[in-house]
Structure formats: structure tokens, C-alpha cells
Amino acid sequence: MKTFHLGWVLWLALGLGSTLRAESPDILSLTWSEGRPSLEFRLLPSISEYRVRSGSTPSATGPGATVVPGDQAGNRWTAGAAAGGDSGFYRMEAVPLPSETVRSGALLHRIAYGPTPDDLDRLAALGTDAYLEEQLAPETISEELDRVPDTGPVWRKVTLTGTGSSSTLYVYLSGAGDAYLDDFRLVAGPTDNGVATNLIANPGFEQPLAPANWTTTTNTANSARTTDFVRSGNASYHLVQVAAGSTGTDALVQTLPTTLNANATYTLSFWYLVQPSRLQLTVRLSGSGISLTVPLQGDAESPAPYHARLQEGTAGIGDLRAWHVLHAVQSRRQLAQVFQQFLENHFVTEYSKSLTYFDERAGLPYAWSGPEATRQEFKENLRWRRAFLDPKCTFHDLLRISAESPAMIIYLDTVLSRGDVSTTTKTNRIANENYARELCELFAFGVDNGYDQVDIEQISRAWTGWTVELLATNQAANPFAPRTTVLINPGLTNATERNSVTNLAGLWSFRYRTDRHDSRVKWIFHEHDAQGNILTNTPKTVPARFGPPWAGRPYGLRLNNGSTTNGIQDGYQILRHMADQPFTQEYLAVKLCRLLVHDDFHHGYDFTDAESTPEEALVKACMLAWENPPNGGPKGQMREVLRVILRSDLFREARTASAKVKTPLEFAVSAMRAFRAAKPDGSRTSVTDAPVLVASGGLLDRAGRMRLFDRADPDGYAEDAGGWISAGTLSERLRFVQSLALAGSGLTTGTGVRSNPDAMGANRIDPAGLVALRLGTDRSRSAEAVTDLLLRLLFPSEGAGNLGGYRALGIRFLNTADNGSTASAFATLTPGTRDHDARIRGLAALLLSTPRFQEQ
Amino acid sequence: MNTPQILTRRSFLNTATGLAATAALSSLTDVPLFVQKALAEGTLGKPDANGRVKKLLFIFLRGANDGLNSVIPHGDDAYGPKIRDNIAIPVDPAQGWNVRGKALVPEAGPTGAAFAYPFSLPMGNGFAGLHPALKFLVPVYNAGELAVIHRVAYPQQSRSHFDSQAYWETGAPRATMVKDGMLYRAMVESGRPGRNSLTGVSFQNSLPLLLRGSRAAMTNLSDPTRYDLLGVPNTADGNTKAARALEAATGAAFPGKANRDLLQQQYENMRRTLEIFAGIDFSETGNTFVDGDTTDGNRPYHLFPTTNAKNGAGPSGTTNPGYVVPASSYGYFNQLKSAALVLNKTDALVAGTQIDGWDTHSNQGGVTGAHANLLQRVGWSIYALRQYFRRHAEQCRWEDLVVVTLSEFGRTTIENSDNGTDHAEASVMFVAGGGVKGLRTDATGKVARSGVFNCGPSDPVPWQTGMNGSMFQSTGRYLQRATDFRSVMGKLVRDHLGATQEQLDRIIPGYADPSQGLKSGGIQAQDKVRVTGEPDLV
């Protein structure tokens, strides 16, 4: 009788240079199948390889011992052959990813909007510490995204290869407006060598238009040949539209002299003049076998035109959102960008409420109110951005920007709040509590943390008089200035029109009104009796749970600034006083840890506990860095707190990587970034058309109504997974991915990726282009190489040992025909062809749809 | 008849490659042993002899509804312009407030706007009046199918929206360790999450805490017409490569991490529920439910007004004869319709949605204005749900349903300098349904029992009138509670949905604790306030 003495010695082998703690994978079961041992084990995070070694004694299973061949399928390992001999000892090893790899993945998911392929390379070369220090000092990173490009006429050429769906070409704009076009080419084949036969008649508009070449429609009847701008030859075409075009009845049309071959490949190109316009230009074959939509502003991805409109005050909220998203995708100052979104969400305001205020209360026409409300959102964000460029930026700086922002003064109702004495009741009016409450609960201390209802009532009185007014431009920073009297049109004879806000030149700004202020003494953070009577000799003290150096400190505040302009100091003193209290330190540390580490932090820890959790210890470390910054500078320096978190052991742990779920913003931006690599010609393998992502009905709206700069509730958008993940939001994310993977590819159905229902505008990813860039043509034929590349780019911290399931799936996907069952070797597909492109797009869509890509 | 879930198309599960994660997932939805035992006793989620199951529809009024201007205590002479100069709701001087009998329906002119009535509507108990924007509650009230519970809150009231909403949703005020929702726990107790694809469903931006929990996935959709995996409806040839691959990807094993169970559950939930939702017509063209009654001049209103035409717009796009709800509420009524359809056409037990915008710190308005516009939604919602479930019942009749509104707290008794109100304490709940015990009159039309709780002349916990009365009892400024909201929810969960007392003690932690007075009333230990215990609602 044959007996087995199979001992499993379990431990975890440490990788070179690893700082991971040694943990053994738990063995859940051990079974035999036809003599082959098979075991089920618990997977560990960030493992590059699981393997089994054998030896005749336990000590003989060390690193030099024979590796037993076997197959891993998820959390099960099965030996490749029946165990030989009567007995043996085996040891299971889990080889962790190098800690630098884990940390670079974690950093790129937390202080950046997900990794780009180029960022992963850069971090590997630079090291994570250097990257972190660079990102903590954004002023040292050059950034020219908002710089307006060269002036003068700029012509751009666009090219697209697709399938001949018909022989009629449409050219149209997305709205009323104009564009200049020149030098169309359409040639057979996947490329245009510049000399192939051009299938378009009168392609450069050198001849007068005739039914034999171009025809206009009612909508384009004002168009004409022109010599004002010329790309080549003597003329170009000035397309002028009355309304949006969409098809042959409202476009510029050419019925091609040559009938195109359905399903054959053709390449279309043309030139257009770049203009600072929001319109999109579409050139397509009827049937959309080739369809190209480009923004007239030229580079769809440049935030510069948005920035220009924001600066001049003509931008709408869509412009601001697009600008914000484009920076998130492209900025080299990724940490600053993440932090700005954090601030916008922490000091939350609501664009729509400002709009309503300007429209209904301030007397602005509706059409002006949107841009004005947008300007206020932009202004506060710009101030935060600038503040953070200061190496010693403090929380107080940021809090003060928020408090002074007209967007906030309107949002939490301070703008109408009064505390002066009413002429009818002869008592002080009751101040609106809204801002005072959220200042305590959401912006500084955290709920029920060091304040109560009596404090809120006292604080609410301090903010009375903080209003919004149209001040002369040179007085916009003077809160005591009266309403501007500078007239835009002094010639108006009608007095009502002449004096209306629409004829006054100035900027809507913070204005302090002494006549609305409650000038009585305020006793804040003082003890009180059960009836709410304040004990003026007894300031509150910091609770014992904070321990040293905070516990027992009195933190009462008495304000007596009177009724003159000094009354403005009530508010400023409160901000100054609250900004560095331990409650604020704790609450902000908790919020930043939730942003950067994981969801499970909360305020209210007992910091005197001898046995503290890593979470509690990290919060306390943040508070100490806030209280006593290592650089000896002022309290509350944000960079010092961020550094503590990002250099902590907790942040480096493998369990921290991927422990958070992406918000809709993070999901969309990370998808664009994941495929965004620079090609040698300067173009990229992904293109972001931000307005589509942030539009009503776009991904951010659909997947949980994340309307940037327009949050109704003052708690800001959720940072935890439960706020974003449900069946309905997941289905929206998957729809987006499918639409994105297909956008601009000319592919529709029957490709393994289903047809897309949602318009993606000019958003594009080019996964096959990325693969070609990274693997070269030959290896682009290898299903294994392609799958491994995408897995490494999308899930850099997971480790190959844990990605085996996805890998097998990806390889099988690439080697299967579009019907989902027939084998179809990927290696037989030629890179550069439609079929090869479609297969890789399908794989990209699949991987972006997985649970793991929802994580960061 | 026990109708199964609608499965009009080939089950999506059939497209699985066999790598599916069902084995791994079953453990997440397994019913705990102690629940299985309790199941044998209670009827929560169980069909009766006729195959009927009791259901619940919730509407959360987020932002804190001003109860004092919803159900107005005219019997308290402190209420009026002296505390609410700009926003008080006046009484019709022609009849006064001390009216006995049924609630009064105001007369509307033949072409007048639907909400032109400028006075509160006496509720017939000689004390309370309804805000005129709630006038469509009157037919429901007079049918005896609406209970109005005033002065509802909980001990040691939080005035934070977010904390207080969380407490209302967990059913465990001030117990921050309780992280899952009250109705989620009720669903787990029903034992259905392991057996049925749908138990609790919401239609809003994200799954509310009421339905959140770690052991089973509840379902939230914001737009069921877009609920289709991979963007296109499953076609006859829908068994595509991508769907199979995704199926497999969802089942791949990974090391455990913070949110991976949640993701796994919701991916699985999506796969299981796609077919169910695909079988229900949520489209605009499917919204054909018309109010045929002679309510308010027999106007051609749809029960779920989602377009101007369905909201009483005249033939040329004019508003004549008057919109029944504000045009800005069409999105909400779409979601309410979805919740009604799901309860009626699937075996879901609980469904709901929310109305945002109740945080009326400034320019709250009085008879008209922001608050009135919000109340219009509530009044019409309850009226319309009654009509829908009476006329179109499939798996759920009006008798099987209870509709309940929740709101995190009430608002300050005295208005502020912005003509608004700030955060305070007790507010009002509306509970409606075919089996709800509301107004009862005798043969002569005399009131045998009012449907108004805690806002009448002779309540078990009396309404104290005057400037030191109930409206100023809590810290001298706020309306004090007379009933704990958990007593209302507990009564509904046990006596309507069918939980046993033992189950209820788990669904609402501490329910059995006598010092809380939740069941039978008494003085609540935390702040020594007397409460009624469970109102006699169902």
C-alpha cells in the first residue's frame, strides 16, 4: 500500500528589497485528484507569483529546492503530475510585488487620477519618494496647459480610415456658425501616400461649386468659396450654417463621382481653420462608415480656450467643468489637481443656487446669471489653486478663501441673513444658522465635535452682514466699498435702465454691511446651563480623549467688535480661531485619510489609548504635523499633513492599494489616462472630449449624478464606495466603457463589442495604437503579450499572481471569434487591420468593465 | 396566485460560461440560522393564503420638512404671524379652524389654477389644518386611509442633516456602530435575499442607507429605461462574447479588500436583475395611468405627471387648467412611477425614492412658494399611488401597501431673518394605505376616530398651547416630540409587513427596551420626554 506523508510548510518568501510583512497564505483545503495534490488557498494582495517547492524534509524545501510544476486557477493550485514517491514535504511561497511597484500604483491612484502608461515608466525610473516630493511641490512642475497657443491662422489636418458605407459625403457643424475648410482627400486603402487618386471632386475648392461636386442646402446657403484664408491653392471654403446640421438635408454635400465599394477600406482627410469656437465639425459618409467629428477650437484636449473664456467671464458652467476635467486628465501637477477637487468638494457650493440668486435677487438677466455663477465657482477654485502653490499653504488660508467666496455666502444663505434690530419687534433679527452649522459640522470641526447648538447660534450672529455686491472693478477686494456707480453706457436717458445692474460696470464680490450685523457680544465655545444661558467665565476645554498636547486647553472665544466696520472681524476671528483647533485637525486629517488611504476612518478616537489602531495612529500623526510642523513654519500646513499620510506605513501596505472605489469623475478620467501614451508624432493614444463627459446625460451625471461645482447638499460628494456602487450605476459605467471603446473606430456591431448607444463626441481610446507603441508589430500579434501589457497598465498593484483569472480570460477573448464560441487565433490577425483593432478594443472594454477597474 | 418574477427574455444567466461566481456569492446571501428559525413564525415577505404579500413604499423628504407648516396646529394660539410673520399659513376667516367632521376639500373654480386656495384646510378634529398644497391628501384622508402623525422625532435629536438622516435610516439614533439600514435588515429577516432577486429597490441617485447592508444586495436604479448591460437590450442573438467574458471576469478570484464584497454583490445583483427590469415597461409611452376621478374639476391629470401634457397642460401648451405638480418634479414622478411599477409587477417587498430640497433656510414661502411646491409633490404622490394600486393592481393591491414618508427633523418654530426656518426637532409623518386606520366616522358622519395623531385637542401626550407650549418645549425653541419615529416604523414592520416581535427587536435595535417606550409608550430615558409608543396605524 502506498502512503503519502505530505507535509505543507507554509510561509511567505520575501521578495528582494521588499518591506512587506511576512504573511502565509492560508490553506483552505487540500485534496487529491488522480494522485495529484490540489489545494485551495487564500490569495494575498499584491503577489507576483505563487509557487510550491518540495523536498524530503521540511528544511529541504528552502529557496533552492525544486519548484513543483503546477497550475494556478484563481485561488486553487494543482500539481501538474501525480506526486512521486511515498512522502515529501512541500512549501508554498507567495512572492510579493516589489514594494516600490505597489506604492507607485497606489500613488498614481490616489494623488493622481490613475496611472498613464508613461507615468508608470516615469515612476519606475524616478522612484516613489522622488515622485511624491515633486508632486508635493507643484510650483516646481512646469505647466502650460492654459497657455493660449500661437496666434495667426492655424490650419489643422485630420485623417480617418474607415469603411465605404455609401458614396455621399456630408459636411456640417454642430450649431449655427461658420468654419473654413480646404484640401479634402479620400483615397482607397488604409493609408494615403499623398499621390493616390483623390475620389473627391473639387477637393480644394479651386473651382466654383457645381452640382457635379459640392451642393449646399438651405441651412448652408450662406456658405461660399473665399480667398480670406487659404490652406493651399487660391481658395478655401467658408461654411456658414443657420442651425445645427446632421444629415444631407442641412449639410454641405458631395455625391462622389466614383461609387465606393461597400466594406472596402478608404482613408479620408481634410484641413480646417482653428477657431476659438465651441462648435464641432463633422465630415462623414452617409451611413457613417467613415465619420469624423472635430472641435473647431483645434486641439480637443486643450483647456486653454476654456480658460480664456473663464478669464473673460463669458464661460458657462460646462466650460468650467470641461476645464477641470481636462486638467485632471493632463496636468503634470496631479496631486494639486486631486487636492483642488478635494477642496471644491469639502468647501462645497452649488452653482445653481448662485445662478438663482443672481437671476432672482440680484436683478441680473437670466443669460448673465449662469456666467456670473460660473465665474464665482472659477474664482474660488483659482484662489485655492494659487494658495496651494505656496509651500506653506495652511488650512486657514483655504478656509478663509471659502468663507469670503460669494459662492459660499450665497450657498449657505449668509447673503440675506440679518442680526440688526428690527424696527417692528425692537429686537435683534434671528440670524440664519446655515453657514454657522456647516462651518462647524462640515468645514472645520466635524459633527458634534467640540461645539453644540448654542455655539451655532452665537456663531451665526457673527456672519450677519456678509453679503454679495456689485463693486467697482478697482474696489472688488474692498469689502466696505459701496455698490459701483460706474456706468457702462452713460448715455442712457431712461433712469431705470441707466441705473440698473445691467448698466453698472464692476465685479460681484464679497461686501460687508454694518447695517445688517448683529453687533452684540458673542460668547462662542463657552459652557452653558440647561436653558442655554452662557457661563461667560467658563470657556470649553479640549476633551481628555485628545491627550497631550491638546487635552484641557480652553478654547472659548469672546467677540466684541461692535457695530462699525470692525464687525467684519467677528467672522475673521472665528476662522482664525477654529482653523487650528484639535477638532479641525482631527476632522481634516480623517477626511484626507479617507481620500488617500481607505474609507474606514472616523473622528472621535481616544488618542490616549495605549493600543491604537494604525488608522488612529495615522490621524494623530497628521494632527501632530499640523500642530508642530517639522519645518517650524505656521500651524496647519497642508503639505506637511499630506506628506505624513503618503509616507506612512499604512499607505504603503498592500491592502491599501485598490482599497477605494472610484467616483464617477475618477472612473472617467482614469479610463482616459489608462490608454493615454504619447506617440512619436506627439499625438496620444487617447483623446478626451471633456464636455461630453460632464454634460447632462454624460457619465458623471448618469452614474450617480456627480454634477461638478453644483452639489445641492453641503456634505459634498461621497468618498466611500457605498455612495457610488449600485447595480444601476455599474450598468452606466459599463455602457460608458462600451461606448468609449467603440468611439471613432468606425466599428459598430459584430466585433465582440456591442454597438454603442451613447454619443462620445470626440472621446477616443486607441488601445491597438498603445499596444503597437509598446510591443511593436510582431509582439502585437501575441495574445499573451497584449493581455499582459494591458493588465500591467491597468492593474499595476495587483500582481501577476492574482491576475491569472483575468489573464486567462483575456487570452481566450483574443483567441475567440466575435460569436463568442469559435476559436480564432489572434496571431493570424494582422496588426493595423480592422479585425486586429476590434479584438483589442474588445479586450480593453472588457478590462475596463471589470470590478477591479472600479477600484483605485 | 403567486406570480413569479417577470422573465420575458431568455435568462441572462444562461449566457454564463460556467465560470460564474454563484458559488462564492451564495454565502453572502445565505440566510442566517436564527433568521430561518424566526421565519417559521412571522409572515414578513410571505404570501398569505391568497398569494398576497404586504409591501411598503417609502418617500424620504431629504433636507427636513417643516412639519408646522405641513400640518398646522391652529388650535395652538401661539401659531401665527407673531412667530411666522412671513410664512404662517392663514385660516379661512369664513369658517375658522375649529371644524368637526371630515376634512374639507376646498372649492376650486372651473378654470382656476389647481392650487389657488389661500388658506389651510381644516382636518375636522378641531385643531389641525393641512397646508393647501396638500389638498389631494383630503380624499385619501376622508376615505380613512391616511394617518398623519405629528411631533415625530427621537431622543437627543441631532440637527445635522447627515447624522439625522442616517439615524432615521439605520433606525438606531446615536448608535454609530449600526451601519446598515432598517429596511435592509427587514429584508434580511424576510429570508428572501437568498431566494429572490429583488427585495428592496430604490429609484434615486444612489442606494439609500435604508437599504444598505453587507450581507445582501439591494437594488438602486436612477433610470430603469437605461438599465441594460453593455448598452443594448439583450437580443435573440444577445449571447455575445463580451457578455460571456464579463460574466467570467466577475467570477475571477481575488484577494479580499475593503470594497470587494460590495462590488461583487452589486455586479452579481446587476446580472440577476437585468431581465426582471427588462420585462417592465418603464418608458414614457407606457405611462398611461390617468386619474379618472372627479378630483379638482375632473381634470385630465396623469397619476405620474412626467410631461406638461400629463400634468394638465391645455391643448396649445398653455398651463390651463393648471399643473397639478410643479414641472420641476417630472424626474421625481418618473422615479415614483418606477417604484410603484416594481412593487406591482415583481415580488419586491420594499421600494421607494426621495424628494430633495426641503432645507428651507431662506424664502420658504407660505401658502405658495418653495415649501408649498414641495408639499404639492407629497400630496399628489400619495393620492396617485392610491389610485394606481386600486385600479391597476397586479401583484400588489392598495390593501397590501403602506406608503410612508420620512424626514430627518422639523424646523424652527420661529422664522429667521431670511423668511426661512432652521434645523429643529419634531416633524410630521404621513402613512397611507388600504389597510391603514385613519379617520372613522359613524353613520351620522360624526367622527368616531380622527386620522390625525398628536395634533388634536385630546392627544395621549397633549399638545400644550401657548408661547411656553409644545412648540417651545425642546430647549425652549423647538417643537417637542410626542412619538418616536421608530414606533411608527416598528408598528408598520411588525403589524403590516408581518415581522414577529422577535424579528422587530433585531430590525430596530432596542425596540424591546422599556426605557425607550417604543412599543407601549412612557418616558424616554435619555432626555426624559414622554412618548406615546406605537400609534394605532394598521
**In sequence order, what are the beta bridge partners of A5?**
A87
- pLDDT in the model for residue B18: 31
* Cβ–Cβ gap B217/A731 under 8 Å: no
Residue among A195, A846, A209 at smallest CA distance from B250: A846
* Cβ–Cβ gap B254/A849 under 8 Å: no
Q: Is the pLDDT of residue B235 over 50?
A: no
Q: Which of A556, A579, A602 is the last residue of a domain?
A: A579
Pairing of strands B55-61, B71-73: unpaired
Residue entry with cell 483645434 = A298
Same domain assignment for residues A506 and A571? no
* Cβ–Cβ gap A754/B232 under 8 Å: yes
Q: What is the DSSP string of B175-203?
A: -TT--S-HHHHHHHHTT-TTT-S-SEEE-
Query: Grid coordinates representing B538?
Result: 394598521
Q: Which of A484, A512, A540 is the last residue of a domain?
A: A512
pLDDT in tens, A765-775: 999 999 999 99
Mean pLDDT of A551-571: 97
Mean pLDDT of B370-379: 96
What are residue B264's phi and psi, to 5 degrees?
-60, -45
In a domain, A363, yes or no: no
Pairing of strands B55-61, B401-406: parallel
In a domain, B194, yes or no: yes
The answer to whether the peptide bond before residue B321 is cis (omega within 30 degrees of 0) is yes
Same domain assignment for residues A731 and A836? yes
d(CA B342, CA B516): 35
Split at pLDDT 50, 70, 90, the class of A15 is very low
* Cβ–Cβ gap B160/A448 under 8 Å: yes
Domain coverage including residue A478: 467-512
Split at pLDDT 50, 70, 90, the class of A164 is confident
Same domain assignment for residues A685 and A820? yes
Whether the Cβ atoms of residue A306 and residue A326 lie closer than 8 Å to each other: yes
Per-residue three-class SS string for A153-206: CCEEEEEEEEECCCCEEEEEECCCEEEEEEEEEEEECCCCCCCCCCCCCCCCCC
Chain B partners within 8 Å of A734 (Cβ): 229-231, 246
In a domain, A628, yes or no: yes
In a domain, A428, yes or no: yes
Chain A partners within 8 Å of B273 (Cβ): 727
pLDDT in tens, B489-535: 999 999 999 999 999 999 999 999 999 999 999 999 999 999 999 99
Q: Is the pLDDT of residue A623 over 50?
A: yes
Q: What percent of chain B stands above pLDDT 70?
A: 85
- Nearest beta carbon to residue B255 from set A44, A704, A752: A44
Same domain assignment for residues A461 and A471? no
Q: Is the pLDDT of residue A755 over 70?
A: no
Same domain assignment for residues A483 and A575? no
Q: What percent of chain A stands above pLDDT 70?
A: 95
Q: Which residue has the higher pLDDT, A377 or A496?
A: A377
* Cβ–Cβ gap B230/A754 under 8 Å: yes
Distance from B259 to chain A by nearest Cα, in Å?
A: 6
Q: Which of A96, A113, A145 is the last residue of a domain?
A: A96
Same domain assignment for residues A692 and A830? yes
Interface contacts (A, B; CB < 8 Å)? 240
Split at pLDDT 50, 70, 90, the class of A153 is confident
In a domain, B7, yes or no: no
Q: Which residue has the higher pLDDT, A290 or B108?
A: A290
Same domain assignment for residues A543 and A607? no
Alpha helices, H only, B190-316: 241-251, 260-278
In a domain, B4, yes or no: no
- pLDDT in the model for residue B297: 52
pLDDT in tens, B2-11: 322 222 222 3
Domain coverage including residue B374: 12-469+483-513
Count of the separate structural domains present in chain B:
1
Give chain B's mean pLDDT.
86
pLDDT in tens, A515-541: 999 999 999 999 999 888 999 999 999
* Cβ–Cβ gap A852/B254 under 8 Å: yes
Interaxial angle between packed helices B260-278 and A727-742, expressed in degrees from 0 to 180 and rounded to the nearest 10: 80
- Nearest beta carbon to residue B476 from set A44, A531, A757: A531
Residue entry with cell 427590469 = B277
Whether the Cβ atoms of residue A395 and residue A579 lie closer than 8 Å to each other: yes
Distance from A447 to chain B by nearest Cα, in Å?
A: 7
Split at pLDDT 50, 70, 90, the class of A274 is confident
- Nearest beta carbon to residue A726 from set B159, B250, B266: B266
Distance from B308 to chain A by nearest Cα, in Å?
A: 21
Query: Grid coordinates representing A800?
Result: 501577476
Chain centroid offset of residue B150 CA: 15
Q: Is the pLDDT of residue A818 over 80?
A: no
Q: What does the angle CA A265 – CA A269 – CA A270 come to, to the nearest 5 degrees? A: 155
Distance from B292 to chain A by nearest Cα, in Å?
A: 34
In a domain, A399, yes or no: no
Which of A625-639, B154-168, B262-276 bottoms out in mean pLDDT, i.e. has the lowest?
B262-276
Same domain assignment for residues A59 and A191? no
In a domain, A338, yes or no: no
Mean pLDDT of B43-65: 94
Which of A264-273, A364-373, A456-465, B317-326 bottoms out in mean pLDDT, i.e. has the lowest?
B317-326
Chain B partners within 8 Å of A753 (Cβ): 242
Same domain assignment for residues A491 and A538? no
Same domain assignment for residues A170 and A51? no
* Cβ–Cβ gap B423/A433 under 8 Å: yes
Q: How far apart are the first and last CA of chain A?
A: 54
Q: What percent of chain B stands above pLDDT 90?
A: 67
Give chain A's mean pLDDT.
91
* Cβ–Cβ gap B212/A722 under 8 Å: yes
C-alpha distance from residue A826 to each of A25, A541, A787, A815, A839 (Å): 36, 70, 11, 5, 8
Mean pLDDT of B85-105: 88
The three-class DSSP label of residue A689 is: coil
- pTM summary value: 0.87
Chain B partners within 8 Å of A441 (Cβ): 160
* Cβ–Cβ gap A429/B417 under 8 Å: yes
Q: Is the pLDDT of residue A96 over 70?
A: yes
Q: Which residue has the higher pLDDT, A74 or A406?
A: A406
Report the sign of the C-alpha dihedral through residues A382, A385, A386, A392, in that order: positive
Same domain assignment for residues A639 and A676? no
- pLDDT in the model for residue B52: 92
Mean pLDDT of A608-635: 96
What are residue B121's phi and psi, to 5 degrees?
-105, 115
Chain A partners within 8 Å of B206 (Cβ): 704, 718, 722-724, 726, 729
ipTM score of complex: 0.87
Residues in chain A: 856
* Cβ–Cβ gap B475/A453 under 8 Å: yes
Residue entry with cell 424576510 = B190
Q: Is the pLDDT of residue B236 over 80?
A: no
pLDDT in tens, A382-439: 999 999 999 999 999 999 999 999 999 999 999 999 999 999 889 999 999 999 999 9
Query: Grid coordinates representing A726?
Result: 449600485
Residues in chain B: 538
In a domain, B531, yes or no: no
Q: How far apart are the first and last CA of chain B?
A: 24
Count of the separate structural domains present in chain A:
6
d(CA B501, CA B494): 7
- pLDDT in the model for residue B176: 79
Mean pLDDT of B37-54: 81
Same domain assignment for residues A60 and A186? no
Q: Is the pLDDT of residue B254 over 80?
A: yes
